[in-house]
Amino acid sequence: MKCDVGSEQDILALFKAADGFGTLGALVNNAGIVGKSGVRVDEMSAERIQQMMAVNVTGSILCAREAVKRMSTKHGGKGGVIVNLSSVAAKLGAPNTYVDYAASKGAIDSFTVGLGYEVAGEGIRVAGIRPGLIDTDIHAAGGEPDRAHRLAHMVPMKRVGTADEIANAIVWLISDEASYVTSAILDVSGGR
């Protein structure tokens, strides 16, 4: 189902549609955007920053809100797992490139820890993945489709990661093998 996570109405419609498939056991907050690369903070428009936060932060919080309403034993749910996608940019700051994106992902890190504490006693685990340079189309959206490969030399493993490597970490966090993991963020970044 198509959903703009920058729109609360779209999020509500998504979860209403998902209710038709049965009990919700997991949510992966993976939606994220970047702005044009190479833009300093003193060049950023309010519109760019607001859109970044609406999708990357507010959208994730609203999706988690709806998931908690369905998963929490406090609300009659059976528990579940929420995995939030952050970025190594949250630690590095992304100066002269994506400071607003890095700030949005720093907010996701804080949200992951706080929500994890808040719902741990209600059968919900909350964890995060902090990807590094991954071979995806997100950099093309910022105007630099080859950015990840161009910067691969900065990664201790000397390569970019794959979407499958991120997906595998998410699957592990959702699985019972990670049953004692909550309010934790796993770097999947080749050491960066």
- Would you please indicate which residues are annotated as catalytic (active-site) residues? 101
Q: What φ, ψ does residue 132 adopt, rounded to 5°?
A: -95, -140
Distance CA 114, CA 103 (A): 17
- 8 Cα distance to chain centroid: 17
**Whether the Cβ atoms of residue 192 and residue 93 lie closer than 8 Å to each other:** no
Residue 46 burial (CB < 10 Å; 0-12/13-18/19+)?
Answer: exposed
Give residues with Cβ within 8 angstroms of 155, minimum separation 6: 132, 133, 189, 190, 191, 192
> Partners of 27 in the beta sheet?
82
